[in-house]
């Protein structure tokens, strides 16, 4: 069943840039009341004003108290989207454990704290969308083992909560390499060379766009029979 997003309350963590911002714009275009939550208050306020969103909040998703504060005055949430997270890389034998732990803090524990903070204010007929990523299927040999584990854990969490918190729906979006600001920050000066080499291997010979992945997030909100699923939006990258 396709559900209308008109007048639905949508809250998007990580909604101030990249995939989250695109999803926010598309949800608003579909009639939703959208609140975006970002790390930086100034940036979140600017993005909300530029796009006519209903509101904005700032939160550090590794700190439960800031998650709770960001959600405290929201009366009801129909669709919660959790896309915040950085690229946490490092080998397990050499990297500070506190740094590696952030991969789980930004994903698993941020989701747990957001859901606990909302409680019954998350509508019983609503939905929650998590994000994992291609690493959950295809880890690399370059210090991504913990991040891959955290990504795969999000998919497992979504399946478990689809049962535990039914009839609320839980799904996970798993994008392939997407041309976002996070990718540019992660790769720095090596971005162009990395992207060109990757394009040669991918079936579509290009990266995904935030609009394409954002549209998939909106699909998960609006299709009332999508539940406990992992939706891959990767251009076939898992095939190669």
Q: Dump pLDDT digits (tens) for 35-54.
A: 999 999 999 999 999 999 99
**What is the pLDDT, as a whole number, of residue 163?**
98
Distance CA(128)–CA(91), nearest Å, equals 31
Per-residue pLDDT of 191-228, as tens digits, reads 788 888 889 999 999 999 999 999 999 999 999 999 99
Residue 214 within any structural domain of the chain? yes
Residue 239 within any structural domain of the chain? no
Cis peptide before 167 (omega within 30 of 0): yes
CA 119 to each of CA 68, 115, 123, 223: distance values in angstroms, whole numbers, following the listed order: 11, 6, 9, 23
What DSSP character marks residue 30?
A: T
pTM: 0.94
CA 26 to each of CA 1, 53, 85, 196, 214: distance values in angstroms, whole numbers, following the listed order: 19, 11, 21, 29, 7
Q: If we measure between CA atoms, which residue out of 139, 175, 134 comes closest to residue 23?
A: 175
161: pLDDT strictly greater than 60: yes
**What is the pLDDT, as a whole number, of residue 2?**
65
**What is the pLDDT, as a whole number, of residue 15?**
97
What DSSP character marks residue 127?
A: E
Query: 79 burial class (0-12, 13-18, 19+ CB within 10 angstroms)?
Result: buried
Residue 109 within any structural domain of the chain? yes
Distance CA(231)–CA(225), nearest Å, equals 13
Residue 240 within any structural domain of the chain? no
Q: If we measure between CA atoms, which residue out of 8, 7, 12 comes closest to residue 131?
A: 12
What DSSP character marks residue 108?
A: I
Residue 64 within any structural domain of the chain? yes
Residue 236 within any structural domain of the chain? no
Percent of the chain with pLDDT over 90: 84
Q: Strand (E) positions, the chain? A: 9-13, 33-38, 55-58, 77-82, 122-131, 169-175, 230-233
Please report which confidence band the pLDDT of residue 141 belongs to, taking 50, 70 and 90 as the band edges.
confident
Distance CA(181)–CA(157), nearest Å, equals 27
CATH number at residue 151: 3.40.50.720
68: pLDDT strictly greater than 80: yes
Residue 73 within any structural domain of the chain? yes
**What is the pLDDT, as a whole number, of residue 32?**
98
Residue 3 within any structural domain of the chain? no
User: Which residues pair with residue 55 across a beta bridge?
Assistant: 35
Domain that residue 170 falls in: 9-230
Interhelix angle 18-29/210-222, rounded to 10 degrees, is 50
Tokens 């608003």, located at residue: 28
**What is the pLDDT, as a whole number, of residue 10?**
98
What DSSP character marks residue 236?
A: T
Q: If we measure between CA atoms, which residue out of 222, 209, 85 comes closest to residue 153?
A: 85
**For the chain, how many structural domains are there in total?**
1
**What is the pLDDT, as a whole number, of residue 183?**
77
Query: In the chain, count of helices (H) and strands (E)?
Result: 9, 7
């Amino acid at each position: 069943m396709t559900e209308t997003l008109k007048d639905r309350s949508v809250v998007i963590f990580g909604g101030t840039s990249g995939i989250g911002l695109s999803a926010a714009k598309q949800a608003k275009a579909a009639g939703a009341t959208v609140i975006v939550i970002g790390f930086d208050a100034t940036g979140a306020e600017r993005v909300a004003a530029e796009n006519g969103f209903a509101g904005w909040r700032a939160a550090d998703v590794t700190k439960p108290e800031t998650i709770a504060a960001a959600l405290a005055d929201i009366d009801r949430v129909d669709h919660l989207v959790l896309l915040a997270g950085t690229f946490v890389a490092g080998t397990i034998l050499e990297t500070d454990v506190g740094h590696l732990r952030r991969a789980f803090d930004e994903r698993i524990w941020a989701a747990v704290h957001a859901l606990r903070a909302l409680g019954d204010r998350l509508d019983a007929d609503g939905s929650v969308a998590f994000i994992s990523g291609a690493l959950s299927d295809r880890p690399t040999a370059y210090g991504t083992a913990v991040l891959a584990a955290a990504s795969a854990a999000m998919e497992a969490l979504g399946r478990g909560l689809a049962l535990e918190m039914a009839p609320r729906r839980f799904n996970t979006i798993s994008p392939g390499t997407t041309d976002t600001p996070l990718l540019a920050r992660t790769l720095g000066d090596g971005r162009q060379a990395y992207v060109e080499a990757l394009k040669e291997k991918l079936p579509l010979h290009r990266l995904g766009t935030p609009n394409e992945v954002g549209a998939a997030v909106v699909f998960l909100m609006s299709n009332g029979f999508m539940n406990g699923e992992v939706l891959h939006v990767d251009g076939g990258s898992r095939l190669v």
